[in-house]
Every structure is written in C-alpha cells, then in structure tokens.
Amino acid sequence: QKARVNFARALYRDADIYFLDDPLSAVDIKVSNHLFEQCIKTYLKDKICILVTHQVQYLKDATKIIVLNDGEAVEQGTYSDLLLSSVSFTKLLEDIHQHGNDNAKSNDENNRLNLSEDDSDEKVLCTSLF
C-alpha cells in the first residue's frame, strides 16, 4: 500500500518528466495492469515517462527500450525493432517467458516475472516515453 501512495503522490506533482523505478512490482497483476493503463498510459500520456520495470508485458507499449548488460546499455530501440534485429533480445524474452512458465507451474504467486532471478546477464530497462 505504501508503494501505491508514493505512486499517487508522484502523479499529483504534475511534473514534465516522471522517473518511475519499478512502481508496479509491489502490487498484484490486476492492480498492476490498471495502474499501467490508467495512470502511465492515460494520465501521463503527454508527459515524459521513464519506466524501469521487470515486467516485460509492458515493453510493447514503450516508445524506446534499452537493454542493459552489467549496467551498460548494449541495445536500444522499439519493441518490434529489437525483435527483428536483436537475437539476444529475442532470446532474453524467450528465456523470461520460459522462466515465467516454470514459475507458474511450481508457484502461481502474482503471475509476475522478476528478471533479477533470471540466469541471463542481460536485463531489460524499459526506459520509455509513453
């Protein structure tokens, strides 16, 4: 609940640029989807929104994605551009999907993916302007 209050406070500031550091991680998938659709995509649609997230289901809506490897930006582009041009991005998504399927079979908590548990060295930073 504390995360939701902090997220709401950030939205009410009416800033031009928002840096959201994994604000959807502390809520369940239904609330996460609602916050993403109503707050980030709708309320902040005319603002610059930099979203750092481990939840890859939101990458398709990003205008720009930056892939990090050991803290360095190794690739960037739109979701579709990265799917077409980046074998490592496609493999990363496949690995995450497989990791998520394995988790769903053994543990149905929250249906969320956590990249920090992924074995891959590459991470996705959804540094995005929505």
**Structural domains of the chain ordered from first start:** 2-125 (3.40.50.300)
Task: Give Cβ neighbours of residue 84 (< 8 Å, ≥ 6 apart).
Answer: none
pTM over 0.75: no
Give the pLDDT confidence of 75-123 residue by residue, as tens digits: 899 999 999 998 888 888 888 888 766 654 444 443 333 343 444 455 5
Question: To which H or E segment does residue 9 belong?
Answer: helix 2-12
| Sign of the alpha-carbon dihedral angle for 108, 38, 23, 118 | positive
Distance CA 51, CA 20 (A): 5
